[in-house]
Amino acid sequence: MVKVYKWYVDKCIWILVFQAPDYYQIIKKPMDFQTIKNKINKFIYADPVEIVGDVRQIFTNCVEYNKRTTQEFKAGSAMSKLFERRLKNLEESAAMNGPSSKRARTK
């Protein structure tokens, strides 16, 4: 999946620079992984929910801008499904290992 992610990011950057002069006319709330990384590194996010929202915005933009038949649409959709699946697993794991596990570790 890392290869798909790298391909997707590289391809999207290439498209924005060379083939998508109308991108910012169509997409009103642009977001990208580099911006998310920068916001994390600068401690701009107050809550992890904000990070999840920005990641979802990337996928929303991908679906909104690209036609269903394109590789970009398909890659973005696949990555979105993977993200949501892993997020759900993380949430379930956190719920199972909630406050009680902290007490167990501190004893």
pLDDT at residue 20 tops 80? no
Task: Tell me the whole-structure pTM to 2 decimals.
Answer: 0.75
Distance, in Å, from the CA atom of 53 to the CA atom of 14, rounded to the nearest integer, reads 24
Q: Looking at residue 100, what is its pLDDT?
A: 53
Per-residue pLDDT of 24-78, as tens digits, reads: 899 999 998 889 999 999 999 999 999 999 999 999 999 999 999 998 899 889 9
Inter-residue contact 64 to 27 (CB < 8 Å) = yes
Q: Looking at residue 34, what is its pLDDT?
A: 87
Residue 104's pLDDT band (boundaries 50, 70, 90)? very low
Single out the residue of 76, 56, 61 nearest to residue 25, CA to CA: 61
Span 75-98, average pLDDT: 91
Contacts of 87 (CB under 8 A, 6+ apart): 52
Q: Looking at residue 56, what is its pLDDT?
A: 96
Q: Looking at residue 24, what is its pLDDT?
A: 86
Q: What angle do CA 29, 23, 74 make, to 5 degrees?
A: 90
